[in-house]
Amino acid sequence: MNAEKESIAKWISILHRQFQIYLNRELKEYDINSSEYIFLVNLYEKDGVSQEKLSSNLFINKAATARAIGRLEKLGYVQRTRDPLDSRANLVTLTDKGLTIRDFIKTKLAYWSQTISAGLTPEETDDMIRKIKRMSGNALVETNRMDDGERKGDFT
């Protein structure tokens, strides 16, 4: 197999799409989809953050974040309140309902990681993670470049 003929982007895209299919199937009973779960996971790591911070942490635009959080709020998994330190910002916190599915989601994510890394040694898995992080950084630099070639944003 010639690496020059293979497209990294193609295989990452296939892997990502399969992950979406898996998550949509596994989270269906909770009415959560693959574009929303990531916000819950981020809140499980640090609850009570602003929508803007969620967007920044996940590299997702503010409009998409607002839509996802709005849907999760409608479903009762999160609530939004005004930030007492900045009345322009909404703080997003998990509800009891959102907390009750934490273990379920984490179990499904762990299973997927085990599934896709089957046959890899721990060293190969660690190496793959390092490479994907590097590629993600390269992609972020490119997608956040202004039309005139300047960078916008800080990705450190």
Average pLDDT over residues 138-152: 70
Measure the CA angle with vertex 66, ends 65 and 68; round to 5°. Answer: 65
| Domain identity same for 126 and 100 | no
Q: Is-contact 79 73, C-beta < 8 A?
A: yes
Which tens digit of pLDDT belongs to each residue from 52-61? 999 999 999 9
Q: Which of 14, 36, 22 is nearest to 98 (CA)?
A: 36
Q: How far apart are CA 142 and CA 155, in angstroms?
A: 11
| Domain identity same for 66 and 78 | yes
Q: Is residue 65 part of a domain?
A: yes
Which tens digit of pLDDT belongs to each residue from 7-57? 999 999 999 999 999 999 999 999 999 999 999 999 999 999 999 999 999
> pTM, whole model, 2 decimals?
0.83
| Domain identity same for 52 and 125 | no
Say which residue, 3 or 112, is predicted with more confidence.
112
| Domain identity same for 106 and 134 | no
Strand pairing partners for 94? 78
pLDDT band at 83 (very low <50, low <70, confident <90, very high): confident
| Domain identity same for 87 and 147 | no
Evaluate if residue 156 carries a pLDDT over 60: no
pLDDT band at 4 (very low <50, low <70, confident <90, very high): low
The confidence score (pLDDT) of residue 2 equals 55
| Domain identity same for 50 and 77 | yes
Please write down the HEC assignment for all residues of 67-135.
HHHHHHHHCCCEEEEEECCEEEEEEEEECHHHHHCHHHHHHHHHHHHHHHCCCCCHHHHHHHHHHHHHH
The confidence score (pLDDT) of residue 127 equals 96
| Domain identity same for 92 and 150 | no
The confidence score (pLDDT) of residue 146 equals 58
Residue 146 structural domain:
120-156
Q: Is residue 1 part of a domain?
A: no
The confidence score (pLDDT) of residue 85 equals 86
| Domain identity same for 86 and 39 | yes
Q: What are phi and psi of 146, to 5 degrees?
A: -70, 165
Number of folded domains in the chain? 2
| Domain identity same for 107 and 35 | yes
Q: Is residue 67 part of a domain?
A: yes
Q: How far apart are CA 122 and CA 114, in angstroms?
A: 11
Q: Is residue 133 part of a domain?
A: yes
Evaluate if residue 150 carries a pLDDT over 90: no
For residue 23, the surrounding DSSP H or E stretch is: helix 8-26
* Adjacency order of strands within the sheet including 78-83: 49-50, 86-94, 78-83
Which tens digit of pLDDT belongs to each residue from 89-105? 889 999 999 999 999 99
| Domain identity same for 103 and 142 | no
